[in-house]
Structure 1
Amino acid sequence: MENWYTSIRELVEAGVEKFNIFPLMFKQADPISAHYRTNPEIFPDSRGRLLMHFATEAIMRRLGFRRGPLFYYAKADSHSRQQEDKYDSIEDINLLPFGVSGFGYVGNTQYYNECTLDGYMSAIEEGRPPVWRGARLDLDERMRRTIMFALRSSGVDRSAFSTRYGVDPLQRFGAELAPFLDRGLVSANDTRIEVTDRGAPFADSIALHLVSDRIREQIRLSNSRITDLKRDPLDRYDFSPIERDPVAATVSPLPMPEVPKRPA
């Protein structure tokens, strides 16, 4: 906590007026994961992470920063027009990825570029699009995606949502949102559905409740095929927390140097 506070203070004193703050994420096969298993006490626990989040919120507001989208802070009225447009108008914004590991969204299709330099360059040299995975979203998935993104920014405009999709978002996804509405993590009125200050640290968990059963089943099927956490690109490069327990997967051991045999 002290280190976190010191980092924020030094950035503010240096005149930084925009912050992007993201939670630390790592996989079982990452070197830092072994470090965590060996020395978990040097990493913040759940309570510590919440304290860091709310301390950041209090400090930023006291210093005149605004939040928007979640985990983005700025002194200006707008942190980043591109980011705000992406979250608030995701159906109207086409994302064109360039380079290794880029992700895009064009024509209701979400796709991801090759995640390794070798794979990306091979596709380019062969005249193929360097696309690793992709899926065209149907109407239900597009509605869910729109709510997930909007809740991380200025919230869901109920009128605009109803005009676009022909259904009120609270009527369509009331069951998914009910636990968070009841606990004050999400608020709703006649015009908008928003994540509250209390709910901001749990935005990812709220989004997980909007994932459809069909997508969960597809992810479980994909995870069941993962056998090596270190070498499988799906587990190594996909940081989505949805159904992230691969079945029967292990971490392959590091290759050990061959020890020369001593003469008898």
Structure 2
Amino acid sequence: MSLYQEPLAWDQSVIDRYDLSGPRYTSYPTAPQFRDDFSRQQWLEAVARSNRSGKPLSLYFHIPFCDTLCFYCACNKIVTHKRSRAMPYLERVDREMALQAEVFDTDRPVSQLHWGGGTPTYISEDEMTWLMDATRRHFQLLDNDEGEYSVEVHPGRMSVGKLVHMRQLGFNRVSMGVQDFNPEVQRAVNRYNSVEQVRELVDVARDQGYQSISMDLIYGLPLQTRASVKETLDQVIDLGPDRLSLFNYAHLPHLFKSQRLIHESDLPSPQDKLAILHEAIERLQSAGYVYIGMDHFAKPDDSLVKAQQEGRLQRNFQGYSTHAECDLIAFGVSAISYYGSTYIQNAKKVEEYQTRIDEGRPALIKGVRLQPEDHLRRAVINQLICHFKLSFGQLYERFGINPNQYFRDELAQLAPMVEDGLIEVTPAGITVLNKGRLLIRRVCMVFDQYLDTGNQIRYSKVI
């Protein structure tokens, strides 16, 4: 049995020592390193590098609207019942696409497209059609169903008709934010979706030919118990999603105002939270799901599993991805792009975003161009977090360094992890052992040259 298919090892004493706070490494450098003085000229230079690369494109659209407030949510969102607010925002997104299309080589195919939020399905079917038509005017979308075109949905706020409509628009993947099926937990976080609602959507999605159905769950929510989470997991497993994410709820009410509506006394204790995770992992693996890494599971025949086994997996702002070859252009408030060796973030407040677009300016407010050292460490972290191994020979071929000498300080820091059986270090490279896979973020942190270990309040716990 390969490492990827082995059941995860759980060593409580080791977890207690290494379960610190740290980045999720959806980017490297991480967002705190993005610079406020990023200029229009730097943006244009990044676009030029992207055009010269000829890479296919990945498009992300941030649609921030929700009609109800989920108390746990840390997303950039606008909670409103005024549906009339959506179209003026979408019109700005269209103008942002036009501005980008003026400078990008848009003959490149769009291999990947994703709508996130917020709740993207907040917008009406007519508005969905309008936005997809606008996207097709500016970019070369694929019409043969070979691209990965995905959308996030709140199943409790989702109609069957809208799911059918999105399939007709070209979406072929759907991610459902289930979070928890227990009624008491749902009341505690103000998010509702029944098993029956989700089952109906799953049946329709399969009937309509959606290629992948993913579900998100959260552990550590108020009023959750080991028994209640087991019941939710049994119901989810019965629904049979192709992929499943089991996210850690990080209670940070000083950063996210909505979380102040959660009673801290209702949260599981740290010990119970870890027990919930342990039992959830065992339950999912016994049901046949493969642990991809960083909260993600998939069925053995899923493309994520195949990409991991073939060394093609990468990590980005949507999580794990099979499209490492794409340049990502992101649209909408707070959206983050990556192309031309550069991360670029849009304005975080919708008013500033819309004002910039109205003035004919790019919506960007921050960015950072990767330097040679960033590329090296980004490659190291990506290999470890996606594939649980690092070949020093490949690093030498790609970057011309002797890793044993170049990373001698980092390798010294890894020595306790070697002693604890988390990793194996040889002259040929690093292998993350079964006991270390859950703690992969902690391994990656050793190679993060920007990490300030004395100031971790903005990060969630590793587990």
From 118, 124, 127, the equivalent of 2:360 is: 127
Query: 1:122: Cα distance to partner?
Result: 1.8
Kindly indicate whether the alpha-carbon contact (under 8 Å) linking 2:313 and 2:324 is maintained by their aligned counterparts in 1: no
Kindly indicate whether the alpha-carbon contact (under 8 Å) linking 1:184 and 1:198 is maintained by their aligned counterparts in 2: yes
- Partner residue in 2 for 1:202: 439
Kindly indicate whether the alpha-carbon contact (under 8 Å) linking 1:152 and 1:195 is maintained by their aligned counterparts in 2: no
Paired with 1:93 and 1:170, the residues of 2 have a C-alpha distance of 31
SS of residue matched to 1:59: helix
Instruction: Render the CA deviation track for 1:114-137: whole Å, top value 9, x for unaligned.
Output: 222222222222222222211122
Q: Is residue 58 from structure 1 mapped to residue 282 from structure 2 by the alignment?
A: yes
Kindly indicate whether the alpha-carbon contact (under 8 Å) linking 1:187 and 1:193 is maintained by their aligned counterparts in 2: yes
Query: 1:90: Cα distance to partner?
Result: 9.4
SS of residue matched to 1:76: coil
2:447 counterpart letter in structure 1: L
Q: Can you give the 5+ residue segments of structure 2 that lack an aligned partner in the other structure?
A: 1-225, 316-320
- Partner residue in 2 for 1:19: 244
- Partner residue in 2 for 1:252: none
Q: Is residue 10 from structure 1 mapped to residue 235 from structure 2 by the alignment?
A: yes
Q: Can you give the 5+ residue segments of structure 1 that lack an aligned partner in the other structure?
A: 224-234, 243-264
Alignment of 1:82-97 (within 5 A): 85-87=313-315, 93-97=326-330
SS of residue matched to 2:330: coil
Identity level (%): 19
SS of residue matched to 1:132: strand
- Partner residue in 2 for 1:104: 337
TM-score (norm: length of structure 2): 0.42
Paired with 1:163 and 1:13, the residues of 2 have a C-alpha distance of 47
SS of residue matched to 1:104: strand
From 105, 110, 116, the equivalent of 2:349 is: 116
- Partner residue in 1 for 2:302: 78
Structure that is richer in strand per residue: 2
Instruction: Render the CA deviation track for 1:210-258: whole Å, top value 9, x for unaligned.
Output: 221xx347x97xx9xxxxxxxxxxx9xxx5469xxxxxxxxxxxxxxxx
- Partner residue in 1 for 2:372: 139
Query: 1:113: Cα distance to partner?
Result: 2.0
| 104 and 43 in structure 1: CA distance in 2 versus 1, 3 angstrom threshold | same
From 384, 394, 399, the equivalent of 1:160 is: 394
Query: 1:12: Cα distance to partner?
Result: 0.7
Instruction: Render the CA deviation track for 1:182-221: whole Å, top value 9, x for unaligned.
Output: 2222334565534333223333333333221xx347x97x
Q: Is residue 211 from structure 1 mapped to residue 448 from structure 2 by the alignment?
A: yes
Kindly indicate whether the alpha-carbon contact (under 8 Å) linking 2:383 and 2:389 is maintained by their aligned counterparts in 1: yes
Kindly indicate whether the alpha-carbon contact (under 8 Å) linking 1:18 and 1:74 is maintained by their aligned counterparts in 2: yes
Alignment of 1:243-262 (within 5 A): none
Kindly indicate whether the alpha-carbon contact (under 8 Å) linking 1:100 and 1:117 is maintained by their aligned counterparts in 2: yes
| 44 and 166 in structure 1: CA distance in 2 versus 1, 3 angstrom threshold | farther
- Partner residue in 1 for 2:418: 181
| 164 and 24 in structure 1: CA distance in 2 versus 1, 3 angstrom threshold | same
SS of residue matched to 2:300: coil
Q: Is residue 43 from structure 1 mapped to residue 267 from structure 2 by the alignment?
A: yes
Instruction: Render the CA deviation track for 1:141-194: whole Å, top value 9, x for unaligned.
Output: 222222222222213441322211122545523134333222222334565534
Runs (4+) of structure 1 exceeding 4 A deviation are: 81-84, 88-93, 168-171, 189-192, 239-242
TM-score (norm: length of structure 1): 0.68
Highest RCO, 1 vs 2 (Cα 8 Å, sep ≥ 6): 2
Paired with 1:186 and 1:16, the residues of 2 have a C-alpha distance of 31
| 167 and 56 in structure 1: CA distance in 2 versus 1, 3 angstrom threshold | farther
- Partner residue in 2 for 1:256: none
From 24, 27, 34, the equivalent of 2:260 is: 34
Kindly indicate whether the alpha-carbon contact (under 8 Å) linking 2:242 and 2:302 is maintained by their aligned counterparts in 1: no
SS of residue matched to 1:95: strand
Paired with 2:437 and 2:323, the residues of 1 have a C-alpha distance of 20
Kindly indicate whether the alpha-carbon contact (under 8 Å) linking 2:314 and 2:386 is maintained by their aligned counterparts in 1: no
